[in-house]
Structure 1
Amino acid sequence: MQPIQGVTAHPPGEPPSTPSAAGELPLSTQQRTVLERLVTRLVALSQQQSAEVWAGLKHDLGLKSETPLLSRHFPAAEQNLNQRLGNAQTTHANRQVVQQLSELLPQGNNRQAVSDYIRQQFGQSALSQLTPEQLKSVLTLLQNNQLAIPQPQQRQATDRPLLPAEHNALNKQVAKLAAATGESGKLIWQSMLELSGVKTGDLIPAKHFTLLTTWLQARQTLSQQHTPTLHTLQAALKQPLEPAEWKEITDYSLQRFQATPQTLLTTAQVQDILNQVFLKRAERLPAALEVHHVHPIASPILSPFIEPMKLISAHPGMAFVALIVVMILLWIVI
C-alpha cells in the first residue's frame, strides 16, 4: 500500500502523528487533482464558473470562503462534487432530450400525436409535466416513427391554417419588402391572399408558407436588381426552378412577353412571372391558364345548326329564310 501523499515521514524516535494532526495538513497533490477534475467536468456540464463551484463546495462543507481545504475535508468534498456532477449529468441529458423533442415536434403530425399519447399513457397534457424517463420514451417513439394520430383525427399538417409564428415570420418579410419597394404592406398581403386562393379575412393554409416565403424573398432580392432577366430570377429563388419548371416558365415568358431568358424584364413582368412560379408550384396554374382557352358551350339543340348559320351569315339575302327555318324546327323540337 502506498502512503498518502502530503504526509511527511517522522524522524526516528518521534511518536507518529495522531489522525487529527494528519487531517490538518493541506490537500495533497493527488487529492487536489481529483477535486479539480471533478470541478472541470461540472463546469463543462453546467452554466457555472470554476470559482462558483469551489465557493459552493466550501459553502456545502460549512467553510468560509477564505478557509483553505484541508486533507480531512477531502472525502466530504469528493462526495459533494460527485453528487453535484451526477445531478448535472442528469440535467444535461434531460436538456438534450427536450431539445431533440423540440426539433421533432413541428414535423408533420408529431405535435398532435405526442399530445394524444401523453394524455392517454401518462394522464398529462404538457411535456413539462413528464419525468425524464417518460420524456425519453416519447423521444424514442418519435425517432422510430411509432407515434401516429388514429383515424379519424389524423389530417395533413398542411391543411391547417398558418400558426401565429408562421404568420409573424411572413409579416416580417412583408415589412422588409414594403420598405425595399415602397409598396403598401396591405397590398402585398392582398396579393398573397389571391395567390393562395383565399378571400380577404380568411386564413392562409400552412401548405403555402414555404411558397410564400420564397415568393417574398425573391421579390425583395429582385427589387435590388437593375437589369433583371429570367436568369437572375432563377438565381433569386430560394428553391431554384427544376428543368421542367424552367421550360414552363420560359415558354410562358416567351408567349406572354416575347421575352427570352436574356431579355431585360420590367418590374411588373418580374412579379407576373414570380406569380406563375408560385401558382405552378401550388398546382393551381393549369386551371388558371385554361380560362384563356375556354369556349362557350353551345346548347345541344342548336349545335347541328351552328355551322350552317355561319355559312348563311355570309349571304345576307338568305338570313330571313334561315331564321324562319330555325324557328319552325325549334317549335317542332320543343
Structure 2
Amino acid sequence: MQPIQGATPRPPGEPAPAPSVAGEQPLSSVQRTVLERLITRIVAVSQQQSAELWAGLKHDLGLKNEAPLLSRHFPAAEQNLNQRLTSAQTTHATRQIVQQLSELLPQGNNRQAVSDYIRQQFGQTALSQLTPEQLKSVLTLLQNNQLAIPQPQQRPATDRPLLPAEHSTLNQQVAKLTAATGESGKQIWQSMLELSGVKTGELIPAKHFTLLTTWLQARLSLSQHSAPTLHTIQAALKQPLEADEWKEITDYSQQRFQATPQTVLTTAQVQDILNQVFLKRAEKQHVGPIETQNIQPVYNPFIAPFIEPLKIISARPGLALIALIVVMLLFWMVV
C-alpha cells in the first residue's frame, strides 16, 4: 500500500509556511481511505496486486511513479478506480459463468445442445466469442434443462414438437413484434397455433418452425413500412416467393382485395397475404411421395384390352394350346 504523505517536520522557531494553493495539498485521510478501499475491492476480484494498481493509476493520471497524489487528483483517481473495479467485476463474473458452463458441458448432450444454440442464436461457434450477457443466458437455459435435445432415435423428423431452443427463438421474435406493433404476444401465439393447425394447449410441430420464423420476420419487417405492396412483401420474405407462388399470391390478392402488385395494402391485408403464404407452403410440405401402385405404364392405353384375356389363358394351359393352334391356322390361311 502506498504510504500516506504527511507534513514535513518544521524546526522549532521557524515560521509556518504560507498556505498551499487550493488543490495542491496532499490527499486527505478521507480521500486516501476511499481510494484504498477501491484498491482492496479490485484486488479481491482480480489477479492484480495493490502496488501494480497504484502504479497503473498514476500512469493513467499522467504522474510519475514517485510523485504523490494530491487532493486535486482525487476525482479523476476515484473515477479511474471505479472503472477498473467495474471491469474487474465483469471479468470475474464471466470467469465464474465459464467455469460453471465447463462443469455442465460434459454432461449428457449438453455440449451439442449449447453448440447448436449459440450458432443459431448468436451466429457464433465458441463460448469465448459471446458477451457476458449471452453467456449468462446460455447458462440459465442449461441449468433449467431448456437446452437438452433428444437422442437421435427419439427425434422423428417432422412430427416432433418444437425444441426448447426453437420455442425460445420464436418467443424472442414474438417479443420484438409485440414491441414494434403493440399487438399482444398472446394474440400472436394464437395466430401461430391456428396457422399450424393445432389447438390451444397443444405443441406446435417442429416442421413449422422455419415457416413461423419467416412469418414473424416478415411481419416485423413490414410493420416498418407505411405503404406496403406485394413487391414489399416479396422483399420482406426470408425465402422469397418462387414464380408459381408469386402467381398464386397475386391471383389471390386480385380476387380477394382487387389489388395489383403495386396497390398499397392495409395492415390486415398484409397479414392475410402472409397467412396465405404460410398455408400454401405448409400444404406443400404435406404432399407425400407418389405411390408406385398408382403409376400407370406408358403402354397401358394401347394394350390394356389384351391384358386380362392373356392372364386367363396363362392360368389355363389347355386354353393356351387351343389358342396357339387357332393362331397357327389363321396364319396358314393368310399366307
State the TM-score, normalizing by the size of structure 2.
Answer: 0.40
| TM-score, normalised with respect to structure 1 | 0.40
